[in-house]
Structures are given as structure tokens and as C-alpha cells.
Amino acid sequence: MPVKTSKAYLTVLGVPEKPQISGFSSPVMEGDLMQLTCKTSGSKPAADIRWFKNDKEIKDVKYLKEEDANRKTFTVSSTLDFRVDRSDDGVAVICRVDHESLNATPQVAMQVLEIHYTPSVKIIPSTPFPQEGQPLILTCESKGKPLPEPVLWTKDGGELPDPDRMVVSGRELNILFLNKTDNGTYRCEATNTIGQSSAEYVLIVH
């Protein structure tokens, strides 16, 4: 009586190598188009690559699968294109590789973005209703990267008219006591290597 035999097929999985992110050159200017590529080799079957920014998955990406020279495993790459703004500064972009050989523990690569941008400026008065004879402090708040240089204060397009009574300290303009001649438009300017911005405050002494 013939002996029956059965065949068992063993599938050998190729474990993907740790992914690498390329294409980032620090720093990037606000408004630039950034292209990042994530690549991993050695997977069988081909691994999946997913992108995340601020923990939110990005779906609109390009995906490429190539057979390795050994004709047994695959190199997979994915390219992410996006235009950066100042809110992207310090944000982590993550490339995640999913594969059945990783036992639900994906491999990741991370790129922290550094974005340079022109200053944003606003003036904050110490009181909403300036009174004659009272002091007033105007604070020039500026934020930019690189950090803006010391601010420049002007009144009605020219120099401050009374430097003994109008004292500049850091980002503050301190008017020691107000009178009606102080009415006018005060401007603070902040500058960094990317550009210059300004804000205005119209003073009306009551």
C-alpha cells in the first residue's frame, strides 16, 4: 500500500532595516517646499511606510517598491512633499515602517523641523486709557527665528522727541509721565536675518 505524503511550505520573512529619512537641510525658510524621503531595505514581503506629522497621519505621499539585488527582498521608499510655515518649527515628522515580521512593533525614523521666519510684532500698552500725568509702558512683543535683534522705537516716523522722559529699556518704551504732546503714532520694529516687521500704537492721552 503506497504511503501518502504531504508537503509543507515555509515562508521566510525578510525583516526590514531601520528606516532612514533624507532630504532635510537645516534650516528651512518659511514658505519653502520641503521634500522628505524615507527608505527601508530588506523586507519580504514589501514593507508599508506611513508618515505622521504632529501625530496626524499624512496620506498624500508617493510610494516606490523595488526588488533588491538578491531578488528575494524589497527596498521600499516613500516621498512626502509639503510647504512649511512657522507653525512647523520644532515639529517632529515621523516615518513609520509596518511589517508582519515586526510583531506589531513598527520601526520609526524621526526628523525634527527647524524653520526660520520673519518676526511677528505687537505692542501692548500697560493701560487701555492713558491719563495725563500718569506713566505709560508700551511693550513690543516680537517673535521670530532667529531671535529678533533689539527693537527700534519711533514716533510719527521720527526719533522719540523727549529721551529724558521717554526711556527705552529692552523691548519696553517707558513714558515717565504723559502730556497731550505725546499724542501720536508709536512704532516698534523688530529685525532678524530673514526680514523686518513692525507694529503701531496710536496714543491718545485723556
**Strand bridging mode 115-125 / 28-29:** parallel
Domain boundaries, the chain: 20-113, 117-203
pTM of the model: 0.80
As a whole number of angstroms, the distance between CA 20 and CA 166 comes to: 56
Whether pLDDT at 1 is above 90: no
Q: Which of 148, 203, 198 is nearest to 181 (CA)?
A: 203
Predicted local confidence at residue 6, as pLDDT: 62
Residue 105: pLDDT band by 50, 70, 90 thresholds? confident
Q: Considering the chain, what percentage of its residues have pLDDT values greater than 90?
A: 85
Helical segments of 46-197, H only: none
CB-side neighbour CA atoms (13 Å) of 23: 18
The domains spanning 20-113 and 117-203 adopt the same CATH topology:
yes
Q: Which tens digits make up the pLDDT trace of 90-102? A: 999 999 999 999 9
Length of the chain: 206
Please state which CATH class domain 117-203 belongs to. mainly beta
Q: Which tens digits make up the pLDDT trace of 64-83? A: 999 988 888 999 999 999 99
Predicted local confidence at residue 22, as pLDDT: 97
| Contact by Cβ (8 Å): 98, 174 | no
Q: CA torsion 59→62→68→69, rounded to 10°?
A: -170
- Which CATH number is 20-113's, of 3.30.750.24, 3.30.70.260, 3.60.20.10, 2.60.40.10? 2.60.40.10
As a whole number of angstroms, the distance between CA 79 and CA 166 comes to: 55
Q: Which tens digits make up the pLDDT trace of 16-45? A: 999 999 999 988 999 999 999 999 999 999
Predicted local confidence at residue 150, as pLDDT: 87
Predicted local confidence at residue 8, as pLDDT: 56
Whether pLDDT at 10 is above 60: no
Predicted local confidence at residue 54, as pLDDT: 87
Written as one letter, the residue type at 35 is Q
DSSP 114-141: -EEEEEEEEEEES-SS--TTS-EEEEEE
Q: What is the mean pLDDT of the chain?
A: 93
